[in-house]
């Protein structure tokens, strides 16, 4: 992985520079682009980043600050909440809407599949995926 420093403190400095489908998920790991990553992921137009979120309760405007920073290139954010679906607070949904970003919330498995399909279709998508 290449090193890349972002202004946000919410992402790890190492990343995959670009978008790629998620090949495998589960047992605390995601696999993509012939690499594996332990922990949650934030998949943005600028790349795939390790994301220090361990559960759906930690998904906030602050932990999604990099999604907001790339809002011009994101029409839909797919949120994978882990094993189960969770409620995203109304205020956060409204902030995403105000930034022009639609949001779909589901368990991580369906979120990975949805992200992969939208990515393959060339849609402007991002994903916030809590590790399973």
Query: In 3-state terms, what secondary structure has residue 52?
Result: coil
pLDDT at 52: 94
Residue 122 CB: number of other CB atoms within 10 A? 7
Q: Are 111 and 83 in contact (CB under 8 A)?
A: no
Residue 117 CB: number of other CB atoms within 10 A? 13
pLDDT at 15: 77
Query: In 3-state terms, what secondary structure has residue 131?
Result: coil
Structure tokens at 83: 């094993």
| 8-127, CATH topology level | Hypothetical Protein Mth938; Chain: A, (3.40.1230)
pLDDT at 10: 54
pLDDT truncated to tens, each residue of the chain (132 aa)?
A: 333 334 455 555 567 888 999 999 999 999 999 989 999 999 999 999 999 999 999 999 999 999 999 999 999 999 999 999 999 999 999 999 999 999 999 999 999 999 999 999 999 999 999 999
Residue 66 CB: number of other CB atoms within 10 A? 20
Q: Which residues pair with 126 in a beta bridge?
A: 77
Q: Which residues pair with 49 in a beta bridge?
A: 15, 42
What are the domain boundaries of the chain? Answer: 8-127
pLDDT at 18: 87
């Amino acid at each position: 992985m290449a090193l890349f420093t972002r202004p946000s403190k919410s992402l790890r400095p190492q990343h995959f520079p670009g978008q790629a489908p998620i090949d495998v998920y589960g047992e605390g790991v995601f696999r993509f682009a012939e690499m594996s990553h332990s922990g949650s992921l934030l998949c943005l137009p600028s790349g795939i980043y390790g994301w220090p979120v361990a559960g759906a309760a930690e998904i906030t405007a602050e932990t999604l600050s990099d999604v907001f920073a790339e809002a011009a290139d994101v029409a839909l954010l797919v949120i994978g909440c882990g094993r189960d679906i969770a409620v995203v607070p109304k205020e956060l949904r409204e902030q995403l809407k105000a930034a022009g970003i639609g949001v779909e919330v589901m368990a991580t498995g369906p979120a990975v599949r949805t992200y992969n399909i939208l990515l393959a279709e060339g849609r402007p998508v991002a994903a916030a995926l809590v590790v399973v």
